[in-house]
Structure 1
Amino acid sequence: MTLGIVVSLFGLGTALVLLFTLAIYAVPFFVALTIGMWAFETGAGVIGATLVGLVAGVVALFAAQLLFASVRSLVLRAVIALLFAVPAAVAGYHAVLGISALLVPSEAWRHVFAAIGGFVVGVSAAVQLAAFAGAGAQPMQVTVGRRDAEFAEGAGPDQPRLPSPSTARLTAPSSEPRG
């Protein structure tokens, strides 16, 4: 009896972890399934439709990640994130509703837990999209120079300042041993 409860809780936990991990793939899966079904209905066959659908899903995921990473407008980023978060939230809602039917007797509480679970899954999908796309990762600029060098006069704030030729002299090493 106790072992059955532990195994059930472990299986439930594993299902929830998979749900959160795979939430970002709801839209690419839908795209892959739709394109794959279209390819099958137009005569591509099972193998051809599967390959076409798989390629379409992968392209959809990477195109969204690339678009999210390259767009700097917060409004457009929010729209792209919502395109991934809303279907994931709907899938999360129904998954938690189905799982809660095993554990919660009250219908009202099942819907409350499902709404919370759907919201969390949707947020998880948006965060994963941002993480995969490398959002917020800005290239670092490194400036190397000598502290005591004289800089060229007249350089504006956006122009690099180079040391003048008179201060960039290095002394030649001596061939005499130190002692």
Structure 2
Amino acid sequence: MTLGIVVSLFGLGTALVLLFTLAIYAVPFFVGLTVGMWAFETGAGVIGAVLIGLVTGVVALFAAQLVFASVRSLTLRAVIALLFAAPAAVAGYHAVLGISALLVPSEVWRHLFAAIGGLVVGVSAAVQLAAFAGAGAQPRQATVGRPDAEFTEGVGPDQPRLPSPSTARLPAPSSGSRG
């Protein structure tokens, strides 16, 4: 009995980790599967359909990341994130509902846990999309004014510069031996 509970909890934890990890791939998987099925039905064969579906799914993922990273409008970013988060949330809802049927006897609690799980998986997919896309943040260089900027401003290359107040001069070390 105890071993069954431990194995069930281990399986539940493993399934949830996989669900969170793979949540971002729900839409590209669906796109790839749809295009692959279309390719198979039009005569591409099994190998051709799998290759076309795989390439289409990868292109869909990278295209979404590229668009998400390059768009500056928060509204468009939210729409793109929602397009990825909604299918992942539905998949998370059904996965948690199926897994909770093993451990939770109450139907109401199963649906409550499934709704919370779906919400968490959907948010996880949106966060992963933003992380993979780099959130469009370009590295910014901080410009710090030099302490001697007021002295060197307008000074040409042939004019002498005033010493910078930021350079500290330490006394030269003595050459005598200690002992």
Shorter chain as denominator, the TM-score bin is: 0.7 to 0.9
Counterpart pick for 1:164 among 153, 156, 162: 156
C-alpha contact (below 8 Å) 2:85/2:125 kept by paired residues: yes
Number of equivalences: 160
Which residue pairs with 1:151 in the alignment? 153
C-alpha contact (below 8 Å) 2:70/2:136 kept by paired residues: no
Query: Normalization by structure 1: what TM-score?
Result: 0.83
Which residue pairs with 2:138 in the alignment? 138
Question: Shift of the alpha carbon at 1:106?
Answer: 1.3
Which residue pairs with 1:22 in the alignment? 22
C-alpha contact (below 8 Å) 2:29/2:57 kept by paired residues: yes
Distance 1:145 1:168, change over 3 A: farther
- Write out per-residue CA displacement over residues 104-160 of structure 1, whole angstroms, 9 at most, x where no aligned residue: 1111111111111111100000000001111163312154886435223xxxxxxxx
Which residue pairs with 1:174 in the alignment? none
Q: Percent identity?
A: 84
Question: Shift of the alpha carbon at 1:17?
Answer: 0.5
Query: Normalization by structure 2: what TM-score?
Result: 0.83
C-alpha contact (below 8 Å) 2:152/2:161 kept by paired residues: no
Distance 1:168 1:137, change over 3 A: farther
Question: Shift of the alpha carbon at 1:164?
Answer: 2.7
- Letter aligned with residue 122 of structure 1: G
Q: CA RMSD in A?
A: 2.0
1:121 aligns with 2:121: yes
Which residue pairs with 1:172 in the alignment? none
CA distance in 2, matches of 1:28, 1:119: 19
- Written as runs of structure 1 = structure 2, the 5 A alignment for 1:4-153 is 4-135=4-135, 137-143=137-143, 147-148=147-148, 149-152=151-154
SS of equivalent residue, structure 1 residue 134 = helix
Distance 1:34 1:146, change over 3 A: same
Which residue pairs with 2:171 in the alignment? none
CA distance in 1, matches of 2:108, 2:66: 41
C-alpha contact (below 8 Å) 2:71/2:136 kept by paired residues: no
CA distance in 1, matches of 2:146, 2:115: 59
Gaps of 5+ in 2: 163-174
Superposed structure 1 runs of 4+ greater than 6 Å apart: none
Gaps of 5+ in 1: 153-162, 170-178
SS of equivalent residue, structure 1 residue 135 = helix
- Letter aligned with residue 151 of structure 1: E
